[in-house]
Amino acid sequence: MAKFKKKGGKGTPAISTASLPDIIFMLLFFFMVTTTMREATLLVAVTPPQATEVQKLEKKSLVDYIYIGPPLRKVFGTESRIQLNDQFATDIKEVREFVELGRSQRDESEKKLITISLKVNKDTRMGIVTDVKQELREVGAFKINYSTAKRAIAKK
Partner 1 sequence: MARPVNEINAGSMADIAFLLLIFFLVTTTMDVDTGITRKLPPPPPEDVDPPKVKDRNIFKVLVNKNDRLLLNGKPGDISMLRIMAKEFLNNGNLSSNLSPEDMPEKKSVEIPLLGGEIWVSKGIISLKNDRGTSYNMYIQVQNELAAGIRELRDELSNEYFGMRFDQLADQDKIKAVQKAVPVAISEAEPEDIGGN
For partner 1, the closer CB: 57 or 101:
57
In whole angstroms, give the CA distance from residue 19 to residue 142. Answer: 51
- The CB-based long-range contact list for 51-54 (8 Å cut-off, 24+ gap) reads 51/148, 51/149, 51/150, 51/151, 52/150, 52/151, 52/153, 54/148, 54/149, 54/150
Q: Which of 35, 17, 52, 44 is nearest to 123 (CA)?
A: 44
| CA distances from residue 138 to 19, 41, 64 in whole angstroms, order as listed | 57, 27, 17
State yes or no: residue 138 binds partner 1 (CB under 8 A): yes
Indicate whether 55 belongs to the interface with partner 1 (CB under 8 A): yes
Asked if residue 121 binds partner 1 (CB under 8 A), the reply is yes
Q: Which stretch binds partner 1 (CB under 8 A): 70-78, 84-92, 103-111, 139-147?
A: 139-147
Give the residue, chosen from 1, 36, 39, 61, that forms a contact with partner 1 under the rule CB under 8 A. 36
53 binds partner 1 (CB under 8 A): yes
How many other CB atoms are found less than 10 A from the CB of residue 30? 10
Site for partner 1, residues 82 to 101, rule: CB under 8 A: none
Q: Using the rule CB under 8 A, which residue among 75, 126, 152, 154 binds partner 1?
A: 126
> If binding is defined by CB under 8 A, does position 17 make contact with partner 1?
yes
**Does residue 145 touch partner 1 according to CB under 8 A?**
yes
**Cα–Cα distance measured from residue 85 to residue 76, given in angstroms and rounded to the nearest whole number:** 17
List interacting residues with partner 1 (CB under 8 A).
Answer: 12, 14-15, 17, 19-20, 23-24, 27, 30-31, 34-36, 48-49, 51-57, 60, 63, 115, 117, 120-127, 129-130, 133-134, 136-138, 140-150
